[in-house]
Amino acid sequence: MNSLIVSCPSCKTKNKIPGGKQHLFPKCGKCGRQIDMRSLATPVELTDTEFQSFIARVTLPVMVDFYSPTCGPCKSIAPLISKIAKDYLGRVVIAKLDTSCNPGTAMHYQIRGVPSLLFFKNGKIVDQIVGAPPESQLRQSLDSLSG
Ligand SMILES: [Zn+2]
């Protein structure tokens, strides 16, 4: 899992925040002040080894972008995925999985092409988009997932 290095806005201490904890109102390790993640949030990068336990543990709905670094349409929606990670912070956990390094999870969910977006609620798939969706369609799916 990726983590973010964030400077505390009040004491300037650098904090390391795991990607999967961005939505849990992280506090500065030194001064204890809450760090506002809204402009900083980034997709959670998951791997085969942690995928199932992460999906089972998260209480918010989760969207996972199954992508490959060499795929053109995957690259074209990457900025949109990064943007919605900020926009939906606290409502939907936005995650991504590189299928070229993590074939086990892709096989488990029978991913046949990338990008594939899977929407999870309580650990179960409730929606799926194959291919790169327009922003409006993606937002619609996320709104209904979190509603
Ligand atoms: Zn601080």
Given a cut of 90, is residue 105 above it in pLDDT?
Answer: yes
Confidence of residue 123 (pLDDT cuts 50, 70, 90): very high
Please give the distance, rounded to the nearest whole angstrom, from the Cα atom of residue 41 to the centre of ligand 1: 18
Sorted by sequence, the CB contacts under 8 Å of residue 17 that are 6+ apart come out as 3, 4, 5, 6, 26, 35, 37
Please give the distance, rounded to the nearest whole angstrom, from the Cα atom of residue 27 to the centre of ligand 1: 8
User: Of 8, 11, 71, 101, which is the active-site residue?
Assistant: 71
Note whether 70 and 116 are same-domain residues.
yes
Sorted by sequence, the CB contacts under 8 Å of residue 61 that are 6+ apart come out as 91, 92, 93, 119, 120, 121, 126, 145, 146
Residue-level pLDDT at 91? 97
Q: pLDDT tens digits, residue range 8-60?
A: 999 999 999 999 999 999 999 999 999 999 999 999 999 999 999 999 999 99
Range of the structural domain that residue 91 is part of: 44-146
Please give the distance, rounded to the nearest whole angstrom, from the Cα atom of residue 118 to the centre of ligand 1: 36
Please give the distance, rounded to the nearest whole angstrom, from the Cα atom of residue 90 to the centre of ligand 1: 22
Predicted TM-score (pTM) of the model is 0.95
Note whether 11 and 83 are same-domain residues.
no
Task: Determine what percent of the chain is predicted with pLDDT higher than 70.
Answer: 100
Average pLDDT over residues 61-72: 97
CATH of the domain at 63: 3.40.30.10
Q: How far apart are CA 46 and CA 107, in angstroms?
A: 15
CATH of the domain at 33: 2.30.30.380
Average pLDDT over residues 82-98: 97
Note whether 115 and 81 are same-domain residues.
yes
Averaged pLDDT score across all residues of the chain? 96
Say how many C-beta atoms besides its own lie within 10 A of residue 136's C-beta.
Answer: 8
Note whether 68 and 138 are same-domain residues.
yes
Note whether 9 and 70 are same-domain residues.
no
Given a cut of 90, is residue 147 above it in pLDDT?
Answer: no
> In the annotation, is 74 catalytic?
yes
Given a cut of 90, is residue 3 above it in pLDDT?
Answer: yes
Residue 42 sits at φ, ψ, to 5 deg, of -140, 155
Note whether 12 and 48 are same-domain residues.
no
User: Of 8, 11, 28, 74, which is the active-site residue?
Assistant: 74
Residue-level pLDDT at 114? 96
Sorted by sequence, the CB contacts under 8 Å of residue 35 that are 6+ apart come out as 6, 8, 9, 15, 17, 26, 27, 28
Residue 134 sits at φ, ψ, to 5 deg, of -65, 155
Note whether 26 and 73 are same-domain residues.
no
Residue-level pLDDT at 83? 97
Angle at 22 between CA 134 and CA 119, to 5 degrees: 40
Total number of domains constituting the chain:
2
Please give the distance, rounded to the nearest whole angstrom, from the Cα atom of residue 52 to the centre of ligand 1: 33
Note whether 57 and 126 are same-domain residues.
yes
Note whether 91 and 33 are same-domain residues.
no
